[in-house]
Structure 1
Amino acid sequence: MSELHRVTTDPAQCGGRPCLRGLRVRVSDVLGMLAAGATPGEILEDYPYLERGDITASLEYAARQLDYTVLRVA
């Protein structure tokens, strides 16, 4: 089941960057923590207002951003 419904954007919040559930936690913040080696459990411990689905949503959002059509000009 998709968790993308957790990703929100609001021009008045975090410069319109994708956030989680209207909180001031950007998708890029979660991705950065994961990339730096933090485990989902550590992130949830440090940010108790986040839920496991928020981490899944961040990863799903990133994966979908990278999945785009490539057109090749012959």
Structure 2
Amino acid sequence: MAIDYKKRITIEPGKRGGKPCIRGMRITVYDILEYLASGMKEEEILDDFPELKKEDIRASLQFAADRERKLTKSSL
């Protein structure tokens, strides 16, 4: 089931250069994706960043998937 990432991912021009962040914090979607890609487990990320929730990680993945889908469609 897809998560509604629009409730969790925020984009503010003055924060982290306008990159998509988690719930207005300074943790970006890119940060989460990079941690996962480096092999960190979801539980490790949540332990390192107690302000994050499991749904934030899922929202980051859904956001990235949606962005990829939109890029793919626009290039066809």
TM-score, normalising length: structure 1: 0.90
- The alpha-carbon deviation at position 40 of structure 1 amounts to 0.5
Q: Say what the alpha-carbon RMSD is for the aligned residues.
A: 1.0
- Structure 1 unpaired stretches of 5+: none
1:33 pairs with one of 35, 38, 61: 35
Aligned residue pairs, count: 71
Render the CA deviation track for 1:22-71: whole Å, top value 9, x for unaligned: 00000000000000000100000000000000000000001001103142
2:10 pairs with one of 8, 25, 34: 8
Structure 1 runs of 4+ with >2 Å offset: none
Render the CA deviation track for 1:2-38: whole Å, top value 9, x for unaligned: 2311000000100000000000000000000000000
Identity of aligned residues (%): 42
- Judge which range, 34-43 or 1-10, deviates more: 1-10
Query: 1: CA distance between counterparts of 2:4 and 2:56?
Result: 7
- Structure 2 unpaired stretches of 5+: none
